[in-house]
Amino acid sequence: MRFVPAIKDIKTYEAGKPIELVVRDYGVDPKDVIKLASNENPYGTPQPVVEALKGSAHNAFRYPDDSMFELKSSLGAKFGVGEKNIIIGSGSDQVIEIAIRAKCGVSSKILTSKTTFAMYEIYAKHVGAEVVKTASSEHKIEEFKEAIKKDKFDIIFLCLPNNPLGECLDRDDVYSFLEEVDEDTLVVVDGAYQEYAKRKDSKKSIDPKDLIERFKNTIYLGTFSKAYGLGGMRVGYGIGREEIIEVFYKLRAPFNITTLSLVAASVALKCEEFVDFSVARCFEEMERYEKFANDLGFEFIESYTNFITYKFDNIDSSDFAQWLLQRGVIVRNLASYGVNGIRVTIGKSGENDSFFKKAKEYLELQDSI
Amino acid sequence: MRFVPAIKDIKTYEAGKPIELVVRDYGVDPKDVIKLASNENPYGTPQPVVEALKGSAHNAFRYPDDSMFELKSSLGAKFGVGEKNIIIGSGSDQVIEIAIRAKCGVSSKILTSKTTFAMYEIYAKHVGAEVVKTASSEHKIEEFKEAIKKDKFDIIFLCLPNNPLGECLDRDDVYSFLEEVDEDTLVVVDGAYQEYAKRKDSKKSIDPKDLIERFKNTIYLGTFSKAYGLGGMRVGYGIGREEIIEVFYKLRAPFNITTLSLVAASVALKCEEFVDFSVARCFEEMERYEKFANDLGFEFIESYTNFITYKFDNIDSSDFAQWLLQRGVIVRNLASYGVNGIRVTIGKSGENDSFFKKAKEYLELQDSI
C-alpha cells in the first residue's frame, strides 16, 4: 500500500524506558528500579491530586468537558490572560504538533538550536518541513540572530530552559532577539521547565502575558508533566494571542484531554507549595551531581531544570547507560541526539545515592580495563 | 499571521454538551441533569476499573509505558492477533486521524456515506482531501460499489454500525464489497459500536482477525468509550496488517495515552459481564424508545448501537433539543449533520422516563400552538 511520501523520513521518538521494561527484560525487582530518565517529579503526584483522582474515578465513563472551562479559568487567572488565549494539549507536545501543522508544509523552514527537544524535528518531518539548526548545541542568541538575517522561517523554537541540555537563555537576550524576528514567523517559547528556571534565576523567567503582549507572533508553552507532578496525565498548554489560538483550535482533536486529567491539572495548579518544595529540593540535590562530575573528572552543563547532562570524552554513553539499565538505574542516553553524554533526572536523595554508587562502580570498571 | 491554506475550511466538531455547561448556563441542579448526548455507557465505569484507578492514582506523576505492553497483550489475546497488529489511539478518533494523514494529501479522495461520523470529514479537511459521499444518508452497499467503479479513493470509511444514525450493514455485504475494492485503497471499518451490534444480530458481527486476514487493505477500529464504559479515558485501537500499523506508528505522538487510561482499559477488557449486562439492558430499554416514536407518530431508524435516532417532519430538531437542554435533558441535535432529527443515548430506566416525560411535554406544547 502506498502512503504519503513524507512518512518514510520520519523517525520515532525514543522515550525514556519504563520501569516495567527493566523488570521484564532484566529481571530486576520493581522496588530496586530507579527511574531517572523522563524528568518526572521524584516527589510524586501531589497528595491533593491523588485524593481528587480517587474521588473522580467513578466518572471515567463520562466524556470530558471539552470546553475545559474550569482548567482554563484557573490557568487564565494564574497568568492574567483570557480563556481565549489558552489552548490545552495532551502534553505541551500536542501544542507543538498543532503549531507546526498550522504554519508549515513541505516548503516550510523551522529554526532550532542544534541539540534540543526531539519532537520539534519529528513533527516537522510529519509535514515534510525543513529543520535548520544553529551551529552550537546549546542556544546561542547570536546564532539565532544570524540565522534570521540569512533565511526566512515559518517557526522558530526556543526551548527555555533547553531539554535535553539544561541551559537557559536570559529573558533580555530572548526579547532582544524577538525584536528582530519577522512578524510572520511564529516563535514558540517552550517553557516546560520554567518552574525550575525562574526559581533558580529570575533573569531566566519568562512571563507568558508579558511575552504575548510585547510580541504578537509568540506562543508560550507550559506543562503539568514536570514540576506539577503529572507526567502520566498528559496535560500541557499554549498561551498566545486570540487570533493564533483560534487557528490552533481548528486542528485540535475533540476530547484531547481525559476526564481525570482535567481534574488532576485543575487541582495541581493550586499546589504551589508542592512545586516550591520540589524545585528547592531539586537544586539542593543537583549540587551533589555537580560535585560528582567534578570529583570524577567529567563535564556537566549548568542546568536550570530538574535534570543534569553529563558529557563524556573517554566513556561511551550508550555502553554506560545500558550497563546502568541492566542494574535497574534508568538514565537517558543522549547518543540519539548526537551527544556522547547522559541526561539524569535529579531524583530523591536515596535515588541519587543509588545512581552515584552504580555510576562509580561502572567508572571504576572502566579504569581497571 | 499566515497559516497553511487548508485551515480556513476546517469546521470544528460539535461535541455533546457537558453536564457542567447545563448547570452553568441554565441553572439546572446537577442532580437533575440527564445526559443522553454522547453515547456514554449509562451504567457507568465498571467497578473493577474504579478500584484500579483509585489504586493507581498515586502513579499520575509517572509517564505511561509507551510500549503499552500490557494493554496490547490483552487486546492481542482477545482478538487472536499479534501486538504488531495493534495501534492504540486517544480514542479511535486518533487512529482515524492517523489513517488520513498516512494516506491523504490535497489531491486525495475519501468515500463515506452521506450521514456518518463527523470526524472523517473534519480530519480530511485538515489535510485538504476531498470527501465524496454516497447519495443515501444510511450506508447502502450498492452505492459504495457504484462509487468505486467511477472513482479511485485513498480511503473508504464504513461505520458499522453507523454513528449518528444507528443502522448497520451485514458482514456478508461488507465482504462482497471489499472483494471489489482496489488494493491500494485503505478501508477503515469503524466498529466503535460493534459490541452492541454483534450481540443484537450476529449477521452484523465483524471479527477483526478474520477481516484483516481476508483483506490486507483494511483496518478495524474499536473503542473503550462506549460499551466498556470509559468515555472519559480516551482509549481506542486500530487492528491491521503489520505493514500498515508500522506506518501508522510513525505518525503517533509518544505518550498518547495517559498512565491511568492504560490501567483502566486493561482492567475494563476483563469486564465482559459488565458489557453483556450493559448491552442487554440497552436493547430492552430501546424498545421503549421505539414504542414512544410509534405512539407519538414520528420516524426512528432501527439501531444496532446504544442510541436511537428520531427523524422529524413537523418538529424542528434544533428547537426541540434546545428546549430539552434548558430543562436539563441533553440530547444530540442532528441539524449539523443535515438531518432534522435528534440522537438520544439509551439511558438507564429512570433517565429514559425523564426523557419521555419532557419530550411529551414539548410535543404537546407544539400540538397546542
CATH of the domain at A104: 3.40.640.10
Query: Does B61 reach chain A within 8 Å, measured CB to CB?
Result: yes
How confident is the model over A117-136, as a mean pLDDT? 95
Same domain, B291 and B171: no
How confident is the model over A305-328, as a mean pLDDT? 96
Same domain, A199 and A341: no
How confident is the model over B237-242, as a mean pLDDT? 98
**Chain B residues 248-267 with CB within 8 Å of chain A:** 249-251, 253-261, 264
pLDDT bin (cut points 50, 70, 90) of residue B369 is low
Same domain, B36 and B179: no
Same domain, B267 and B295: no
pLDDT bin (cut points 50, 70, 90) of residue B24 is confident
Contacts of B16 in chain A (CB under 8 A): 63
pLDDT at A369 over 70: no
Same domain, B242 and B95: yes
Contacts of B54 in chain A (CB under 8 A): 53-54, 57
Same domain, B116 and B137: yes
State residue B246's pLDDT score: 95
pLDDT bin (cut points 50, 70, 90) of residue B330 is very high
Contacts of B67 in chain A (CB under 8 A): 18, 21
Work out the minimum CA distance from B297 to partner chain A, whole angstroms: 32
- Name, in order, each residue with C-beta under 8 angstroms of A316's C-beta and a sequence gap of 6 or more: A340
Instruction: For residues A159 and A297, give the distance between their C-alpha atoms in angstroms, rounded to a whole number.
Output: 28
- CATH number, domain of A334, equals 3.90.1150.10
pLDDT at A86 over 70: yes
Give how many domains chain B has, as a whole number: 2
User: Strand pairing of B186-190 and B34-35?
Assistant: unpaired
User: Packing angle between helix A141-150 and helix A171-178, nearest 10 degrees?
Assistant: 10
Instruction: For residues A236 and A259, give the distance between their C-alpha atoms in angstroms, rounded to a whole number.
Output: 15
Cβ pair B18:A67 closer than 8 A: yes
State residue B216's pLDDT score: 97
Last residue of a domain, one of A271, A286, A305: A271
Same domain, A212 and A331: no
- For the stretch B340-363, pLDDT in tens is 999 999 999 999 999 999 999 999
**Chain A residues 122-181 with CB within 8 Å of chain B:** 126
State residue B12's pLDDT score: 76
Same domain, A159 and A289: no
CB A41 within 8 A of CB A18: no
Work out the minimum CA distance from B5 to partner chain A, whole angstroms: 9
Contacts of B117 in chain A (CB under 8 A): none
The residue in chain B having the minimum alpha-carbon distance to the alpha carbon of residue A96 is B253
Same domain, B99 and B229: yes
State residue A6's pLDDT score: 83
Last residue of a domain, one of A271, A298, A330: A271
The residue in chain B having the minimum alpha-carbon distance to the alpha carbon of residue A234 is B258
SS3 state of residue A132? strand
Query: Does B55 reach chain A within 8 Å, measured CB to CB?
Result: no
- For the stretch B268-326, pLDDT in tens is 999 999 999 999 999 999 999 999 999 999 999 999 999 999 999 989 999 999 999 99
State residue B11's pLDDT score: 79
State residue A263's pLDDT score: 98
**Chain A residues 304-363 with CB within 8 Å of chain B:** none
Global pTM reads: 0.96
To the nearest whole number, what is the mean pLDDT of chain A? 95
C-alpha to C-alpha distances, B122 to A251, A256, B8, B94, B210, nearest whole angstrom: 9, 15, 12, 12, 30
Query: Does A369 reach chain B within 8 Å, measured CB to CB?
Result: no
Question: Which residue of B12, B23, B61 to mutate against A (max A Cβ within 10 Å)?
Answer: B61
- Least confident window among A9-18, A89-98, B32-41: A9-18
CA dihedral A44, A45, A46, A50 (to 10 degrees): -140
pLDDT at A367 over 90: no
How confident is the model over A239-246, as a mean pLDDT? 97
Same domain, B24 and B34: yes
Helix or strand run (H / E) with residue A287: helix A272-296
Minimal Cβ distance to B21: which of A13, A67, A104: A67
Contacts of A104 in chain B (CB under 8 A): 4
- For the stretch A37-63, pLDDT in tens is 999 999 999 999 999 999 999 999 999
Question: Which residue of B21, B45, B63 to mutate against A (max A Cβ within 10 Å)?
Answer: B63
Instruction: For residues B323 and B326, give the distance between their C-alpha atoms in angstroms, rounded to a whole number.
Output: 5
Last residue of a domain, one of A242, A271, A300: A271
Query: Does B77 reach chain A within 8 Å, measured CB to CB?
Result: no
pLDDT bin (cut points 50, 70, 90) of residue B7 is confident
Minimal Cβ distance to A250: which of B7, B24, B103: B7
Instruction: For residues B11 and A126, give the distance between their C-alpha atoms in angstroms, rounded to a whole number.
Output: 22
pLDDT at A249 over 70: yes
Cβ pair B61:A20 closer than 8 A: no
**Domain of residue A278, residue span:** 5-44+273-368
State residue B96's pLDDT score: 98
Same domain, A130 and A249: yes
Cβ pair A63:B264 closer than 8 A: no
pLDDT at A23 over 90: no
More confident: B14 or B28: B28
Cβ pair A63:B251 closer than 8 A: no
Work out the minimum CA distance from A218 to partner chain B, whole angstroms: 11
Same domain, A285 and A344: yes
Query: Does A107 reach chain B within 8 Å, measured CB to CB?
Result: no
